[in-house]
Amino acid sequence: MFGEQRGSRRRAARSVRARSLLRLAALALLLDAVAAHADPFADEVVSFTAGPGAGFGQDKLPRIVLGAPEGTGDLQGSLDVVALGNGGSITVAFRDNVICDGPGVDFTIF
């Protein structure tokens, strides 16, 4: 009788471990899928307040500030910008991003 109970407990423990491993594997796959679709760019303009002198690029909002920057390369400049003006502000949201400390630049605002 005791041998049967021990065997039953061992099977139950193996079953619990197996289910836990399956859950961890499913979570890892889900996180990997989310990371594969994430990009390092702003996803939404939450608010924009133009200050005096603002104007350039406003007609292209929000598209001009979302997604990857466009230009001709490092130190070449770009007209793919919006001018906030003196005291102006913009708030953007990042929906699918996590900023973490890795090798090289981790976060850029220009």
Q: Residues 5-14: pLDDT tens digits?
A: 666 777 766 7
pTM of the model: 0.56
Domain boundaries, the chain: 1-37, 40-110
Q: Residues 35-93: pLDDT tens digits?
A: 545 677 888 999 999 999 998 999 999 998 888 877 777 777 778 889 999 999 999 99
Answer for the pair 82, 60: CB distance below 8 angstroms, yes or no.
yes
Where residue 20 falls (left for φ over 0; alpha for ψ -120 to 50; beta otherwise) is alpha
